[in-house]
Structure 1
């Protein structure tokens, strides 16, 4: 039987694009752990995706994971758009390369190891764990540590 884990994630950007961060809270039985990190130049959608990816990467064995997110982009991306993107070689209906392709390919790869249920919640609506992740994400965005090379590459900027 798979371990059952609950994960709450949020992403934030101070300007879009601008400095951003993600916040994660992982709960297993009575244990909780939080993670967050910030980036100098990124977008809100990239931070929402990054939060989910970095959270799943913390789980070292195959598990049943319930992911709670306030991102319609992530929820719809996984549950509605992902299969079609893969069939169309990561292209949109209009035959354009999808935004944030690097993160979507990474997320698709790591999802295969887990059974994942997705739950969307309204942001800034008093959901305790979502608010906690939001605070972690905003705090990290204010003190960025990393450069989001995926954002730079997808926007055709010259990398450092």
Structure 2
């Protein structure tokens, strides 16, 4: 019996006009030649919250266990998972190394829950560059943020 998980590519991005201000997020799921776009926004939010919401909603859209390769231009999100920050925050009761509370704790917890069933790889991409898929999710996020202007 094969335990090979289906591989899903997830591109995510968030945008905010002002910080805080009107924001949007975009996600693109790709699997087996199929593409699914997701997007949304909020009238008063921050860029980090929208970056996080994109990852959460992309993960929540999956209906079975997968190997998800998450591509994000958010250094905060990528570093939180690849540099062990999130484990340290949890060990310290959701406090950063400077003893201050972690911002957006509820979104980090929601992201952890959404990622839990999956095998996740975190891949940093350069934002606002020549990455066509990152530029696409950025455009989705910006379009959503414009709805609240």
In the TM superposition, what whole-angstrom CA distance separates every residue of 1:2-58 from its partner, at most 9, and x where no partner exists?
A: 111000000000000000000110000110010100100000001000100000000
Aligned equivalents of 1:85, 1:106: Cα separation in 2 = 15
Kindly indicate whether residue 92 of structure 2 is the aligned counterpart of residue 92 of structure 1.
Answer: no
Equivalent residue in structure 2 for 1:101, among 89, 98, 105:
105
Number of residue-to-residue matches in the alignment: 144
Aligned equivalents of 1:5, 1:23: Cα separation in 2 = 16
| Structure 2: stretches of 5+ with no match in the other structure | none
Matches within 5 A, 1:64-79: 64-79=67-82
User: Does the 8 Å contact 1:23/1:34 carry over to 2?
Assistant: yes
TM superposition outliers: structure 1 runs of 4+ over 3 Å: none
User: What TM-score results when the alignment is normalised by the length of structure 1?
Assistant: 0.88
User: What TM-score results when the alignment is normalised by the length of structure 2?
Assistant: 0.94
Alpha-carbon shift at residue 71 of structure 1 (Å): 0.6
| Structure 1: stretches of 5+ with no match in the other structure | 145-160
Kindly indicate whether residue 49 of structure 2 is the aligned counterpart of residue 9 of structure 1.
Answer: no
SS at match of 1:117: strand
Matches within 5 A, 1:8-157: 8-80=11-83, 81-144=85-148
Alpha-carbon shift at residue 78 of structure 1 (Å): 1.8
The root-mean-square deviation of aligned C-alpha atoms, in Å, is 0.8
In the TM superposition, what whole-angstrom CA distance separates every residue of 1:65-93 from its partner, at most 9, and x where no partner exists?
A: 00001110110112221010111111111
